[in-house]
């Protein structure tokens, strides 16, 4: 059910609202250093003290996405070893990307590049975090022609390939008191649901609820998933997750991890 060519494979995962997957149970520029300069090698002790950049993390004073509405670069990176993430090329590390996100390989979308440095979106709180990674020897790259656009006002989700619509789908969104967060997010990880029956698969985003600091003991991760019936499609009655039909979920499951999802 997933692509295995030049783009990374996705299968699915995650949570918010009523989502309580067992694992989660329960959102540019260069500095004075030349852009091509490699960072000083961090020893294991220094790397160990950096916080993990995952859906459970909250990183204070980290850079934010400088252009949340900018077009996707069409490139994703797989993290092949624990990777320090910097506030600017050659700058200060503020966290580290692990090789797995909730059991799935870590793929992140590239939003800018300078030499051997790539600026990527990150999955921790607050929403819209971004950072720079030095790519040689620590990542694999792949083209990704897909993006997803979600329009909250008309309850629509559009899957695009090379900027051309592959079909528009109706969705359900968060209640007014628990709104689905806007911004430039991405498909973060994938897990087959084993505890709940509302959705066989769940797609978590890099986004978190701005209303739920936690939910059901988890980090309030926003996700794409189905519901036992389709009566919630076209309505605002979730706790922030995006509810889709089984047919829409099948199409979303074909998209690579790291696919950029714009919510407006």
> The domain spanning residue 57 has which CATH number?
2.30.30.40
If one counts the domains in the chain, the total is: 2
Distances from the Cα of 211 to the Cα of 24, 106, 180, 183, angstroms: 18, 26, 9, 15
Structure tokens at 128: 């819209």
DSSP class of residue 157 equals E
CA–CA separation, 59 and 94 (whole Å): 8
35 part of a folded domain: no
Residue 104 sits in the same domain as residue 153: no
> 49: domain range?
44-143
Residue 246 sits in the same domain as residue 153: yes
CATH number at residue 180: 2.40.440.10
Q: Report the mean per-residue pLDDT for the chain.
A: 87
Instruction: Give the residue with greater pLDDT, 42 vs 217.
Output: 42
Hey, how many other C-beta atoms are within 10 angstroms of the C-beta on 139? Answer: 22
**38 CA to centre of own chain:** 26
Residue 179 sits in the same domain as residue 136: no
Condensed to tens digits (0 to 9), the pLDDT of residues 158-186 reads: 999 999 999 999 999 999 999 999 999 99
Residue 97 sits in the same domain as residue 159: no
Condensed to tens digits (0 to 9), the pLDDT of residues 197-216 reads: 889 999 999 999 977 665 45
Instruction: Tell me the catalytic residues.
Output: 225, 241
Please compute Rg for the chain using Cα positions: 17
Structure tokens at 71: 């077009």
Structure tokens at 166: 């592959």
pTM exceeding the 0.75 threshold for the entire prediction:
yes
Where among 78, 111, 143 does a domain terminate? 143
Residues 127 and 27 sit within 8 Å (Cβ to Cβ): yes
Instruction: Give the residue with greater pLDDT, 23 vs 189.
Output: 189
Residues 86 and 39 sit within 8 Å (Cβ to Cβ): yes
> Which run of H or of E encompasses 48?
helix 44-49
Structure tokens at 42: 């961090």
Condensed to tens digits (0 to 9), the pLDDT of residues 183-196 reads: 999 999 888 987 77
Condensed to tens digits (0 to 9), the pLDDT of residues 66-119 reads: 999 999 999 999 999 999 999 999 999 999 999 999 999 999 999 999 999 999
198 part of a folded domain: yes
Q: What's the number of CA atoms in the CB half-sphere (13 Å) around residue 139?
A: 25
Residue 176 sits in the same domain as residue 162: yes
């Amino acid at each position: 059910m997933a692509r295995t060519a030049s783009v990374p494979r996705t299968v699915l995962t995650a949570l918010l609202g009523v989502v309580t997957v067992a694992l989660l149970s329960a959102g540019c520029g260069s500095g004075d250093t030349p852009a091509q300069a490699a960072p000083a090698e961090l020893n294991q002790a220094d790397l160990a003290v950096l916080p993990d950049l995952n859906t459970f993390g909250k990183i204070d004073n980290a850079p934010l996405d400088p252009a949340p509405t900018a077009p996707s670069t069409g490139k994703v990176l797989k993290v092949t070893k624990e990777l320090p993430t910097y506030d600017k090329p050659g700058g200060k590390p503020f966290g580290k990307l692990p090789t797995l996100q909730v059991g799935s390989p870590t793929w992140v979308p590239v939003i800018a590049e300078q030499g051997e440095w790539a600026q990527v979106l990150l999955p921790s709180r607050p929403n819209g975090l971004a950072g720079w990674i030095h790519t040689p020897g620590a990542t694999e790259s792949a083209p990704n022609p897909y993006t997803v656009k979600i329009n909250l006002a008309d309850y629509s989700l559009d899957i695009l390939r090379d900027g051309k619509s592959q079909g528009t789908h109706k969705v359900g969104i968060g209640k007014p008191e628990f709104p689905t967060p806007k911004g430039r997010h991405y498909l973060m990880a994938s897990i087959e649901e084993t505890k709940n029956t509302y959705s066989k698969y769940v797609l978590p985003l890099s986004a978190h609820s701005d209303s739920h600091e936690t939910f059901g003991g988890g980090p309030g991760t926003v996700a794409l998933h189905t519901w036992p019936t389709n009566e919630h499609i076209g309505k605002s009655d979730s706790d922030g997750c995006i509810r889709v039909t089984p047919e829409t979920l099948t199409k979303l499951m074909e998209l690579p991890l790291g696919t950029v999802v714009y919510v407006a």
